[in-house]
Amino acid sequence: MRILAAAALTALFIITINAFAQPSAKEPAVMSQVRKNYGGASAVSAAFDLSIYWSIREKEEKKSGELLVASGNKFKVTLGKEAFVCDGATFWQYSEKNSQVVVRKFSDIDASTLPSRFLSTFLSNRAFAEKQRSGGTVEVVWSGDAPASAGVDGDYTAITAIVEEKTGIIKTLKLTDKNENVHTYTFKKTAFDKPPSNDVFRFKPPKGVEVLDMRDGDGSK
């Protein structure tokens, strides 16, 4: 479950700009700013708290981390003592606990379960409705019963977001999947900046750790 949780986070945040749907005329006005913020050429950075409720086990798991995401499938995510880094071609998964780095081609990983996919999951081909306003924020919702354009993945049955009305910054994002597991992200210190150099999205293994290079398919070091 630990690996799945980390993978689900990583896929959450790869921004797929060309997948963003055009705003619906019925959507709340704040969604236009949200799409502008997260669908542009800027890199997105944030600290976050993650709460995962596992339905089958009826157990809650909590984690904290930081992320940096840029276009071109580039991201750097730390989650506790784990790190997930991708330069668009190569993906590194580091575990301090296991003293191990696994290296794969980006094309070989399941990007649908990574922290990079979640904004595209949130925005792509879905129209959101306003539920309520409170304290300068707008709560927007989407459910599996709502109309969606072709190409929407079936992993989630409900999505709720709390957005700052003035800035269009997502403060909280709650995703319920088809197994009734609930991932809730609380974002802090969100910033939009020019994309950093490509070196930022490459991982240099610490000395002494085991490196499993899976790019040739044999796990050789």
Residue with tokens 């044999």: 218
- Give per-10-residue mean pLDDT for the chain (221 aa): 48 39 68 83 89 91 90 87 92 95 90 59 74 94 63 71 94 90 93 91 95 77 54
Per-residue pLDDT, 146: 55
Residue 221 lies in a domain: no
Per-residue pLDDT, 18: 32
Please report, for the domain that includes residue 205, its CATH number.
Answer: 2.50.20.10
> How would you classify the pairing of strands 74-79 and 59-70?
antiparallel
Q: In what order do the strands lie in the sheet with 90-95?
A: 129-134, 137-143, 156-164, 170-177, 182-193, 43-54, 59-70, 74-79, 82-87, 90-95, 100-105, 210-213
The Cα 146–Cα 179 span in angstroms is: 19
Total domains in the chain come to 1
Domain span holding position 26: 2-129+188-213
Q: Which residue(s) pair with 46 in the sheet?
A: 67
- 172-209 residue pLDDT tens: 999 898 899 998 999 999 999 988 998 999 999 999 99
Residue 73 lies in a domain: yes
Contact 148, 122 (CB under 8 A): no
Q: Which residue(s) pair with 54 in the sheet?
A: 59
Residue 134 lies in a domain: no
Residue 17 lies in a domain: yes
Confidence (pTM):
0.79
Residue 180 lies in a domain: no
Residue 22 lies in a domain: yes
Residue 74 lies in a domain: yes
Residue 165 lies in a domain: no
